[in-house]
Amino acid sequence: MSYLEYQVKSVPTGFRKILYANWALVALLTAVASIGFLMLYSVAGGTLSRWAEPQMIRFGMGLTAMFIVAMVPIWFWRNVSGLAYAASLVLLVFVEFFGVTGMGAQRWIDLGFMRLQPSEVMKITLVMFLAAYYDWLDIKKVSHPFWVAIPLVLILIPTALVLNQPDLGTAILLVAGGGIVMFLAGVSWWYFGAVIAGGVGLVTAVFTSRGQPWQLLKDYQYRRIDTFLDPASDPLGAGYHITQSKIALGSGGFSGRGFMQGTQSRLNFLPEKHTDFIFTTLAEEFGFIGGFSLLVLYALIILFCIMSAIQNSDRFASLMTLGIAATFFLFFAVNMSMVMGLAPVVGVPLPLVSYGGSAMLVLMAAFGLVQSAHIHRPRAK
């Protein structure tokens, strides 16, 4: 079913739309963001103005943006998704030349009231555009090599650009997010199997070649991989962050040390305590209960998105909703794995909790899209 066949009458109109929004999702997002405020207040040593207050303002702006996006019919967003993708790409190229680098490696453009990171925007517009692509594409051609190559190119161009920044975290999110949309659209399992097999083969080859005459990488590159994979081998350098992060997390225990009582963050043992490593402070101060609660909230957000997507018989809406949910999942999964020492350190923030403007606004806007899809879903006559 396509939008053209909508019984427009069955779709809510005007401000009544707001009643049809997915309010549970709004509540969940607010709850997660509130945990963020609390933690930002705590890591700032009990002051609002440093991080918590700006974060609240941004969340307010994000909520507003979400509702504005939600009010606009989903078919409008489908129609402009190509444009949005193209615009993000232009911005990415633009920051290559004119952007400012700071705090890690992400490049941003100063908009005056906030710093916009095009790579953040790209995470969403890529998903949108791929969903639109598969909405347009004949379902029988989905696994055709040519029609598989096109989305691959669409994914790899922005990936190459962010890798060049270099922002490994965003690159991983782009590839994984795009790949998930392709998977959902029904691209044959064989492609994924082949990519995974190829990847495994390549990694094996690289590692087995070490010390062999046909060694594929230089020695220093191997050493870099070593510390990347096992930071503990360099406890005062690359491993310092992860060691301290694990100490903070583990020492929280079951019920935590209590609000504002975390010693690791308070005494600056934790790096990036208000951004990428904010989860450790939560886990230190509220323990397993706090950390697990946040995980449950995230899980509920994902679940609501999946349910909304499955109920929705519109192909673009479903794919986009699932894609956004998957991107959201990738954010916190990568971040949490990192702080728990399950994955190497890559710069990915904890969504809606870490301090940061672009990510917050872009994610809220993305949930606006999810809401729009939810509100404007085709309804039975």
The one among 138, 190, 236, 381 contacting other proteins by CB under 8 A: 138
Q: Which of 44, 109, 260, 303 binds other proteins (CB under 8 A)?
A: 303
377 φ, ψ (degrees, to nearest 5): -70, 150
- The answer to the question of residue 306 lying near other proteins (CB under 8 A) is yes
Please report whether residue 153 would count as binding other proteins according to CB under 8 A: no
Burial class of residue 336, CB neighbours in 10 A (0-12, 13-18, 19+): buried
Which strand ranges, in their side-by-side order, compose the sheet holding 100-101? 100-101, 107-110, 115-116
The binder of other proteins chosen from 32, 33, 248, 297 (CB under 8 A):
248
Contacting other proteins (CB under 8 A), which of 40, 175, 336, 346? Answer: 336
Q: Exactly one of 74, 84, 116, 283 binds other proteins (CB under 8 A); which one?
A: 283
Report d(CA 70, CA 138) in Å as an integer.
28
Q: Which of 29, 97, 108 is nearest to 63 (CA)?
A: 29
91 lies in the site for other proteins, by CB under 8 A: no
Separation between Cα atoms, residue 296 and residue 2, nearest integer Å: 35
Interacting positions 173-192 with other proteins (CB under 8 A): 180, 183-186
Name which of 359, 318, 367, 379 is nearest 68 in CA terms: 367
**Residue 45: what are its φ and ψ, rounded to 5°?**
75, 25
**Comparison of 148 and 340: residue with beta carbon closer to other proteins:** 340
Q: Rule CB under 8 A: say whether 362 interacts with other proteins.
A: no
Among 73, 252, 349, 356, interactor with other proteins by CB under 8 A: 252
Query: Which residue in 264, 275, 358, 371 binds other proteins (CB under 8 A)?
Result: 264
In the bound complex, what is the minimum distance in angstroms from residue 299's beta carbon to other proteins? 5
Residue 302 binds other proteins, judged by CB under 8 A: yes
Single out the residue of 74, 89, 91, 319 in contact with other proteins (rule: CB under 8 A): 319
Number of chain residues interacting with other proteins (CB under 8 A): 54
d(CA 352, CA 62): 10
CB of 279 to other proteins, least distance (A): 10
Q: Which of 120, 102, 186 is nearest to 151 (CA)?
A: 186
Q: Does 259 bind other proteins (CB under 8 A)?
A: no
List, in sequence order, the alpha helices (H) in the chain: 23-43, 52-71, 74-98, 118-136, 145-163, 168-185, 189-208, 219-229, 238-251, 263-266, 278-311, 315-339, 357-375
Nearest residue to 77 (alpha-carbon basis) of 304, 312, 371, 363: 371
- 3-state SS, residue 232: helix
Q: Where does this chain touch other proteins (CB under 8 A) — which range of 18-26, 28-36, 60-68, 291-299?
A: 291-299
State the minimum distance, in angstroms, from the CB of residue 292 to other proteins: 6
Q: Minimum distance from CB of 80 to other proteins (Å)?
A: 19
- By CB under 8 A, name the one of 99, 169, 287, 368 that touches other proteins: 287
The residue written with tokens 């109109």 in the block is 13
- Please pick, from the candidates 82, 104, 250, 344, the single residue that binds other proteins as defined by CB under 8 A: 250
Between 129 and 279, name the residue whose CB sits nearer to other proteins: 279
Quick one: which of 291, 349, 357, 368 contacts other proteins (CB under 8 A)? 291
Nearer to other proteins, 39 or 180 (CB): 180
For 223, the 3-state DSSP assignment is helix
- Do residues 70 and 372 lie in contact, with contact meaning Cβ atoms separated by under 8 Å? yes
Distance CA 351, CA 276 (A): 10
Give the interface with other proteins as residue ranges (CB under 8 A): 1-2, 136, 138-140, 180, 183-186, 244, 246-254, 263-264, 266-270, 283, 287-288, 291-292, 295, 298-299, 302-303, 306, 309-310, 313, 315, 318-319, 322, 325-326, 329, 333, 336-337, 340, 342
